[in-house]
Structure 1
Amino acid sequence: MSPTPPQQRGRKLAIIGGGWAGLATAVSAVQGGAEVCLLEMAPQLGGRARSLAADDKQALLDNGQHILIGAYTQSLTLLQTLGVDPEHAFLRTPLRLRYPRHEGLRLPSGAPLISFTRGVLANQDWPLSARLSLLMTAGRWLLKGFQCPPDWSVSTLCADLPRCVREGLIEPLCVAALNTPAAQASASTFLRVLRDALFSGPGSADLLLPRLPLSALLATPAQNWLLAHGAELRLSHRAQSLQADGAGWRLDGEFFDQVVLACTSVEAARLCRDIAPAWSQQAQTLRFEPILTVYLHSPGSRLPAPMVALQEGPQAPAQFAFDLGQLGTQPGLFAFVISGAAPWVGHGLAESGRYTLAQAIQEFDWATPPTVYRVLAEKRATFACTPGLSRPPMAIAPGLWAAGDYVAGPYPATLEGAVRAGQAAAAQALR
């Protein structure tokens, strides 16, 4: 850790929100010498990437399945700062889209361009013409700097690709990265994800599947680190009021030099409604996409891979399935993820669970009959990453900043986007 500049020592910084963005803000601010007070309205840290408390009837479950990729360098650096060993915390493998009955795209290790070319050419599930079409299209994206008109959807971007490539690669990657169906998803944001994941360096496309519960991955290590470094954490505390006070701010009557709103866009819009009406209005216009996680129980069963891609359809909700036993957390439990799940939320959790169970029975061979263990809904999991979306900026007012995956930037609503937003807000607050 570099020495703290004298002008930053003792600066009081309030951070509202204890998700990944808020925790990244807090760690960076403490490293910069600020006196940090973090407020979180929930009784635990972690935000939308946390573990739910276990009880006598339910095992410890995450509120959703979150994966990292090798390109998420800032998230991995943050975890290492907190004492988390990535080699222990993740199962790291080259990008692999395994389906229930066949192998999909699988990238070998090596330099990005060579690895991508070899992986595409080796995919026997596609005809040679489809493989060559994808390579030529990806080459055009590369030559254009992964840029496209801002009003294009992913479906528009990929309209000329063969159907097997769209259904077997583009649509699963799009819904996994943007949580928005390809027909409604921003092509420019999707291209940025592809650029960083597939072409930014060796291992950038690697999948990092958590071997630890989500709270043990970041929230608990961050809480321990922050407390050990003198930060104040106020859990179960919802910020009520925020007003400018000279060169600083009054948060619920308490003075702070700087404030970072690392809470949801809804909470941030409420707190700064009278301070920055235009910013508040822009934040309120964001739409959200839900994610459902259907946990199935089948003792003794095993999926063909730790993470398996699925073909969704009118009666097949899930796009991915995770074998928690192969990940070393909960043998016999399987998490089926429904991204862009607005239609299924409308059907209800019980109905979504029944359809997912039927999909799972049809797609896999089970050692014991699977049953629905629990269905979890994160109704505001991500903002809807649509073409031409105008996201609110980080700067709200002098000394007042926003940090979150929804803030203007190149990434969709990912863990890496949240971490980078938090670190950027901390850097501005400490200037």
Structure 2
Amino acid sequence: MKVAIVGGGWAGIAAAVELADAGHDISVFEMAPQPGGRARSVAGNPDYDNGQHILIGAYRDSLALMRRLGVDPDAVLKRLPLALPYPGEPGLRLPAGSPLIAFARGVLAHRGWPLHARLGLLAAAGGWLARGFRCDARLSVAELCTGLPAAVKRDLVEPLCIAALNTPAPQASAQVFLRVLKDALFSGAGSADLLLPRRPLSELLAAPAAAWLGERLRLGRRVQMIETGWRVDGEAFDAVVLACTSVEAARLTADLAPAWSAIAQGLGFEPIVTVYLSSPGSALPAPMLALREGPDAPAQFVFDHGQLGGAPGRFAFVVSGAAAWVAHGGCAEAVLAQAQRELAWATPPVIDKVLTEKRATFACTPGLARPSAQIAPGLWAAGDYVDGPYPATLEGAVRSGLAAAQGIGIGANGAAKGSPTNTP
């Protein structure tokens, strides 16, 4: 089949590789001057990434895709056991071994929490496990964790929720959060490990994909129209994968599939702000530290690039779920003040660069209606926003791309091809 992939982010790359390896003739249309979507290095300045990204050991499809493109994950990612140290505090640390045993040992060894808090967390986790990590889809993370001790919510639940869902716990989906916990903490040895990029982000996937795709990648091409048949800006294809943003996908399907387009258009978004500070001669006690968020403390995490193969003395402070700060005009000065209060510096830190991604992820709220993967026979959507069990993560994007490619492949092997309908 001749297949068009509209969008060259991680979902589009996954779909393209899967389809090409199956023998299909593919073309990838990417509106930006480089592939990678929201997980890439800054155009023209590869020393900076378009925001700080973390992978975890459970991202098996993402890691497999990297290997298919000739990238050795062990060479470009620093693997660390899950730990949430805070400035001056060791925080929760999970030892190696069987997931259930490692979690119990890590929690019981956390001397920063009183014994009743540690036992309360283990009791709650046991209840989630017994219920198959399922709950009422209408619950928020805050409601799910109402009975947990305050220290556990402050030091574990809230930072994990904002890191994984990019949505504050009072507004975040408990069902999606539980799925993340299940796959990250309890699905196998090493699943909870942190995989921190120690090369520019584009080297993880975007640049190898560009080399692998060659002339099949059409950069600087924003698709204007998709017509039944399937025609992409007048060029005929047998099938199409919409691996662009939900906003672009809604625009391109407004006439083809209005009901699907309306669902995609109805998604809300949460921003992420990354504030890079420079302090020559300084270093953190660990490559990554968690920070306690507050009214005058925007950042939840900080990364030491000098310990991750980047420039020594450069630090990335991440502000997730940053809608309120963006609405107030930004948070760089507040992050600088937070850094000066909470961390020790060899030289006074200064603001180096600020990156704001206003539509970093969809707002992962309880009971959210997300658009389906198949829009019509021969027309599929791929992206971290597509209906599924995961929040807006790199792994969710890759899995959606693989699913779209496999759906098209099944259609090529016998399912009837046709024109789109108006049902999502």
Instruction: Give me the TM-score of the superposition, normalised by structure 2.
Output: 0.96
Q: Deviation of residue 348 (structure 1)?
A: 1.9
Given that residues 15 and 25 in structure 1 are in contact (C-alpha distance below 8 angstroms), is that contact kept between their aligned partners in structure 2? yes
Given that residues 290 and 341 in structure 1 are in contact (C-alpha distance below 8 angstroms), is that contact kept between their aligned partners in structure 2? yes
Task: Name the structure 2 match of 1:332.
Answer: 313
Aligned equivalent of 1:385, options 361, 364, 367: 364
Q: Distance in 1 between matches of 2:61 and 2:217?
A: 23
Structure 1, unaligned runs of 5 or more: 1-10
Q: Distance in 2 between matches of 1:283 and 1:73?
A: 27
Task: Name the structure 2 match of 1:216.
Answer: 203
Q: Distance in 1 between matches of 2:382 and 2:213?
A: 18
Task: Name the structure 2 match of 1:110.
Answer: 97
Matched residues, number = 410
Greater Cα offset, 135-144 or 339-348: 339-348
Q: Does residue 42 of the first structure (1) align with residue 32 of the second (2)?
A: yes
Given that residues 271 and 361 in structure 2 are in contact (C-alpha distance below 8 angstroms), is that contact kept between their aligned partners in structure 1? yes
Residue 292 of structure 2 aligns to which amino acid in structure 1? Q
Q: Secondary structure at the match of 1:325?
A: helix
Q: Deviation of residue 142 (structure 1)?
A: 0.2
Aligned equivalent of 1:130, options 97, 110, 117: 117
Given that residues 26 and 38 in structure 1 are in contact (C-alpha distance below 8 angstroms), is that contact kept between their aligned partners in structure 2? yes
State how 1:335-354 maps to structure 2 within 5 Å.
Answer: 335-349=316-330, 352-354=331-333
Q: Distance in 2 between matches of 1:345 and 1:44?
A: 26
Structure 2, unaligned runs of 5 or more: 411-424
Q: Secondary structure at the match of 1:15?
A: strand
Identity percentage over the alignment?
65
Q: Distance in 2 between matches of 1:24 and 1:237?
A: 19
Q: Deviation of residue 429 (structure 1)?
A: 1.1
Deviation track 1:169-226 (CA, whole Å, cap 9, x = no partner) reads 0000000000000000000000000000010000010000011111111100111112
Q: Deviation of residue 54 (structure 1)?
A: 4.4
Q: Distance in 2 between matches of 1:180 and 1:417?
A: 16
Given that residues 46 and 215 in structure 1 are in contact (C-alpha distance below 8 angstroms), is that contact kept between their aligned partners in structure 2? yes
Q: Distance in 2 between matches of 1:53 and 1:156?
A: 41
Deviation track 1:370-401 (CA, whole Å, cap 9, x = no partner) reads 00001100000000000000100001111000
Instruction: Give me the TM-score of the superposition, normalised by structure 1.
Output: 0.94
Given that residues 54 and 61 in structure 1 are in contact (C-alpha distance below 8 angstroms), is that contact kept between their aligned partners in structure 2? no
State how 1:92-241 maps to structure 2 within 5 Å.
Answer: 92-227=79-214, 232-241=216-225
Aligned equivalent of 1:358, options 333, 337, 340: 337
Q: Does residue 72 of the first structure (1) align with residue 59 of the second (2)?
A: yes
Given that residues 34 and 43 in structure 2 are in contact (C-alpha distance below 8 angstroms), is that contact kept between their aligned partners in structure 1? no
Deviation track 1:95-144 (CA, whole Å, cap 9, x = no partner) reads 00010110111000000000000000000000000000000100000000
Given that residues 394 and 408 in structure 1 are in contact (C-alpha distance below 8 angstroms), is that contact kept between their aligned partners in structure 2? yes
Given that residues 54 and 60 in structure 1 are in contact (C-alpha distance below 8 angstroms), is that contact kept between their aligned partners in structure 2? no
Residue 373 of structure 1 aligns to which amino acid in structure 2? D
Residue 24 of structure 2 aligns to which amino acid in structure 1? A
CA RMSD, Structure 1 to Structure 2 (Å): 0.8
Q: Secondary structure at the match of 2:171?
A: coil
Q: Distance in 2 between matches of 1:54 and 1:299?
A: 24
Deviation track 1:249-296 (CA, whole Å, cap 9, x = no partner) reads 011000000000000000001001111000000101100000000000
Q: Deviation of residue 53 (structure 1)?
A: 3.2
Given that residues 295 and 333 in structure 1 are in contact (C-alpha distance below 8 angstroms), is that contact kept between their aligned partners in structure 2? yes
Task: Name the structure 2 match of 1:398.
Answer: 377
